[in-house]
Structure 1
Amino acid sequence: MADIILHQYATSPFSEKIRLLLGAKGLAWQAVEIPAILPKPDLVALTGGYRRTPVMQVGADIYCDTALICEVLDALAPTPPLYPAAQAATARLAAAWFDTALFTASVTYVFQPAGVASMLGHLSPAQIQAFSADRKAMRGDTNALRMPLAEAGALLHEAFGSLEAQFAAGVGHAAGEALSVADFSLYHNLWFIRRAGALAQLLEAYPRLQAWYARMNTFGHGRPRVIDSEEAIAAARRADPVALEAGVMTDGGLQAGDPVTVTPTDYARDPVAGVLLSLTASRVTLRRQDTRAGALNVHFPRQGYHVQRAG
């Protein structure tokens, strides 16, 4: 198996989700530190335009979105399992909610003025302005990752209170008795809030939730080795994309071989163009050709992405 390469940056909460998962799986991996804002020319050479963080690379196969990255890592290293049979559906549904609704509330809560001072205080005024403009462009004309502050606080307290009660009842993990993908999706929200200075006091009302967090934190980050983006592009160029059995579900009249675009439906709606290789209920895969990286398979989860014929 080719090396696992994670394109990420240190302060990205979704990167932390995958770093912790790599630790739980005891995996060695290579880290490429990417910019937090555009431009990201080396990442775009691999993804074709997808700009969210993180992105995982295995040879010439590029995996977008942590929902899919978790599934791929679980297949590569099945222990501990992320989707235990007795709670697989619950774990998937809880993880999706933690990654979307709970994360939107966390972002809204953290980026009130007191949180911004803690999170971005190390940046110059010009860097803060550039970061704000980048995130505004990511949201576009949507309200993604934003909600009224009072509603965000209420959602956080309701969610954390429910988890506190569940842990008090003796349930060990976020989606049931066993560790699952839901724990990693919950974890990065708390990690994000804990970085927001005085605003992290919100968590003090939930001691069992904090104890769960401390247990999760012991997984660490596995065995990372930092490489530069040119090394990652060279690794893609040397490799051949994984051979897939071409097949497309009945979905808007698309067929394998059609030129298509894949676009996130909520935010950072930058389309990726390529030739459709595979489209199932859970995944969509495109073939791209890049002048620097060569032939690439770019994979996305099916949920949360719009697939349409190019042009």
Structure 2
Amino acid sequence: MSDLILHNFAISPFSEKIRLIFGFKQLHWKSVTVPIIMPKPDVTALTGGYRRTPLLQIGADIYCDTSLIAEVLDKRSPAPSLYPPTVNGLARNLAQWADSTLFWTAIPYAFQPAAIPSIFGDISAEEMQAFSADRATMRGNMPRSSMGEAKGQLCEYLRRLDSMLESDAPFLLGAQASIADFSVYQTLWLIRTAPAINPIFDGHPKLLKWMDRVAAFGHHQSETLSSAEALEIAKKAQVFDMDGRNFVDSHGIALGEQVAIMPTDYALDPVVGELVIASENELAVRREDARAGTVLVHFPRVGFQMKRAK
């Protein structure tokens, strides 16, 4: 069975989500550190343009977006499940809210000047300026909340989350952890790392204890891999993850056609390739790269759009 290779960086909240899922499932993994900002030549070689972090690589299969990565890990290691049957739909919907609404509410609050040293460490003014410019390019025309709006809305969301723990259940949806716990945690984790801004959690002791429980899953066992080694693994791989998918046509596009797939919200960098998977919840294209060889790049349907390539 091919190794699990996570392309990530330390302060990425979405990467922390997947690292904790490795711990939850006790999965051994390999870590490739990617640049925080563009250019990312080795990432581009694998994905064809998709630039969000993290990516999961299994051989020559490249999985984009943590919602799909979590599905892949759950299939690989079904127990304990990220999707307990009694709360499956609720867990998925709460996770989607956390990955979008909660995340974009928390980010302006997290990246205020007082928190920068705790989050970024010894970063120069020039490096911070480059990071800000990179993220502005990623966001494009997405609206950005003011600090007052972000803090006010975040406080309300914390009150709502805290109320979900009033039954003394250990996790947000009951006795078992689910994908919802990891998705909510990843954004709050970034704020909690910064002493200048984490007093926002004051008055929410149950929420803090819940965060401690999620953090206790840890990251399990990992080893470092270079991006060059990861590219070589992709180039040598022969087996692709294409089995067991029904063809679901919602675009009038047939398998084998050239398509462009990109997110629907931000970082709208299209990935062009031959459509090889169009199932209920997944799209994938096959593409060629001089350095990575033949790769399959996988996306979830939710949150992504597909068009015929021009």
TM-score range, shorter chain: over 0.9
Corresponding residue of 1:33: 33
Give the counterpart letter for 1:34 in structure 2.
V
Deviation sequence 1:63-119 (CA, Å, 0-9, x none): 000000000000001121000100000000000001110011110111223223543
CA contact (8 A) 1:102 1:156 kept: yes
Task: Please list every run of 5 or more consecutive structure 1 residues that lacks an aligned counterpart in the other structure.
Answer: none
Whole-Å separation in 2 of the counterparts to 1:176 and 1:162: 15
Corresponding residue of 1:181: 179
Does 228-237 or 188-197 show the bigger shift? 188-197
Whole-Å separation in 1 of the counterparts to 2:152 and 2:134: 28
1:1-311 matches, cutoff 5 A:
1-120=1-120, 122-143=122-143, 146-242=144-240, 244=242, 248-311=247-310
Runs of 4+ in 1 over 4 A off after TM superposition: none
C-alpha displacement of 1:142: 2.2
CA contact (8 A) 2:7 2:54 kept: yes
Q: In angstroms, what is the RMSD of aligned CA positions?
A: 1.4
Deviation sequence 1:187-216 (CA, Å, 0-9, x none): 111211112331111012210100011111
Helix, strand or coil: the match of 2:165?
helix
C-alpha displacement of 1:247: 5.6
Helix, strand or coil: the match of 1:36?
coil
TM-score by length of 2: 0.96
Helix, strand or coil: the match of 1:308?
strand
C-alpha displacement of 1:251: 2.1
Whole-Å separation in 1 of the counterparts to 2:26 and 2:7: 18
CA contact (8 A) 2:21 2:182 kept: yes
Deviation sequence 1:225-271 (CA, Å, 0-9, x none): 00100110111111124252576422221000000000111111100
Give the counterpart letter for 1:175 in structure 2.
L
CA contact (8 A) 2:261 2:304 kept: yes
Whole-Å separation in 2 of the counterparts to 1:163 and 1:170: 13
Give the counterpart letter for 1:258 in structure 2.
E
Does 16-25 or 173-182 show the bigger shift? 173-182
CA contact (8 A) 2:11 2:119 kept: no
Whole-Å separation in 1 of the counterparts to 2:239 and 2:140: 33
Whole-Å separation in 1 of the counterparts to 2:269 and 2:50: 6
Give the counterpart letter for 1:36 in structure 2.
I
Give the counterpart letter for 2:236 in structure 1.
R
Task: Please list every run of 5 or more consecutive structure 2 residues that lacks an aligned counterpart in the other structure.
Answer: none
CA contact (8 A) 2:164 2:173 kept: no
Whole-Å separation in 1 of the counterparts to 2:13 and 2:7: 13
TM-score by length of 1: 0.95
